[in-house]
Amino acid sequence: MHIVVCIKQVPDTTNVRINPKTNTLEREGVESIINPFDTYAIEEGVRIRERLGEGKVTVLSMGPPQAEAALREAISLGADEAVLLCSRAFAGGDTWSTSLVLALAIKKLGPDLVLAGKQAIDGDTAQVGPGISYHLDWPQACYVSKIREIGKGQAVVESLLENGKEVLAVELPAVLTVVKEINEPRLPSLKGKMRAKKAVITTWNETDIGADPELVGLKGSPTTVARVFSPSRRGAGEMIKAESASEVARLVVAKIKELKIV
């Protein structure tokens, strides 16, 4: 079984800096990590290979040249091969064009299963996994917390819901996005670190995956981030107390009028 795991390199920080001109993330000089949810996807891919006793795990990332570091780390965590999708044509892409680029590369790799994280901690949209399955017209299951069975062209998975879980049978090839409840990622082994150091990372651009430059990156993005800003902190608020509920209601209405909220 050939498993492709999509991983995103993200800033290792909560106070992201936004470039005021381009409204995109400042990545220069910011420590980067593998998106936390993707470490569970890598682990799950390796566990399936171990469970089946055969197969290959390829990690795939679209990003700037420095994203190679995230791919090497993924190899130290047990992945076999790595592909970096890197080109100016891919820059500034929204989730539609990001998932298209990944889908075209996945089509070229031809796997039986695609694993992705539930969401990325910077863009936070959780749209890329479903977007990949849309572009490939493959089945998908999201918020997967357990892969019960896998093989013979099908996977049986548990998908987390707000108030429980559902069990789905998914025909392969398919796209699964995973949550952190699915496993406990292992630490990199010494052997893994050495393999990562020597590993040859394949790099593809738009020509290698047959992408039309007009349909990817900022050019191919139906959405653009108009403005990114931190919402202003709200004040503590005021507690309105009175003898009776009708008196509280009267005071609230007076306050609303005073503040000209309506």
Ligand X SMILES: Cc1cc2nc3c(=O)[nH]c(=O)nc-3n(C[C@H](O)[C@H](O)[C@H](O)COP(=O)(O)OP(=O)(O)OC[C@H]3O[C@@H](n4cnc5c(N)ncnc54)[C@H](O)[C@@H]3O)c2cc1C
User: Of 119, 117, 102, nearest to 38 (Cα)?
Assistant: 117
Q: Please tell me whether the peptide bond between 213 and the residue prior to it is cis, using omega within 30 degrees of 0.
A: no
Q: CA–CA distance from 59 to each of 46, 84, 227, 232 (Å)? A: 11, 9, 32, 39
Written as six digits, the tokens of 186 are 């292992």
- Considering only residues 3, 32, 35, 113, which one is a binding residue for ligand X as defined by CB under 6 A? 35
Is residue 61 part of the contact set for ligand X (CB under 6 A)? Answer: yes
Shortest distance, CB of residue 111 to ligand X, whole angstroms? 14
- Considering only residues 167, 169, 228, 242, which one is a binding residue for ligand X as defined by CB under 6 A? 228
Is residue 213 part of the contact set for ligand X (CB under 6 A)? Answer: no
Shortest distance, CB of residue 28 to ligand X, whole angstroms? 14
- Considering only residues 38, 43, 68, 158, which one is a binding residue for ligand X as defined by CB under 6 A? 38
Total residues contacting ligand X by CB under 6 A comes to: 31
Nearer to ligand X, 13 or 253 (CB): 13
Is residue 66 part of the contact set for ligand X (CB under 6 A)? Answer: no
Nearer to ligand X, 38 or 158 (CB): 38
Shortest distance, CB of residue 177 to ligand X, whole angstroms? 6
On the CB side of 48, CA atoms within 13 Å amount to 29
Longest distance between any two alpha carbons in the chain, whole Å: 75
Shortest distance, CB of residue 223 to ligand X, whole angstroms? 4
Written as six digits, the tokens of 138 are 């493959």
Written as six digits, the tokens of 116 are 């992705």
**DSSP-derived 3-state class of residue 112:** coil
Is residue 45 part of the contact set for ligand X (CB under 6 A)? Answer: no
Is residue 63 part of the contact set for ligand X (CB under 6 A)? Answer: yes
- Backbone φ and ψ for 56, nearest 5 degrees, come out as -140, 140
Shortest distance, CB of residue 83 to ligand X, whole angstroms? 10
On the CB side of 206, CA atoms within 13 Å amount to 16
Nearer to ligand X, 60 or 196 (CB): 60
> 5 to 34, contacts with ligand X by CB under 6 A?
6-8, 25
Using the rule CB under 6 A, give the single segment among 36-44, 133-141, 198-206, 245-253 that binds ligand X: 36-44
- Backbone φ and ψ for 2, nearest 5 degrees, come out as -100, 120
Nearer to ligand X, 115 or 172 (CB): 115
> 77 to 96, contacts with ligand X by CB under 6 A?
93-95
Residues of the chain by 3-state class (helix, strand, coil), percent to 5:
30, 25, 40
Q: Are 32 and 69 in contact (CB under 8 A)?
A: yes
> 110 to 169, contacts with ligand X by CB under 6 A?
116-117, 119-120, 122-129
Chain positions contacting ligand X, by CB under 6 A: 6-8, 25, 35, 37-38, 41, 61-63, 93-95, 98, 102, 116-117, 119-120, 122-129, 223, 225, 228
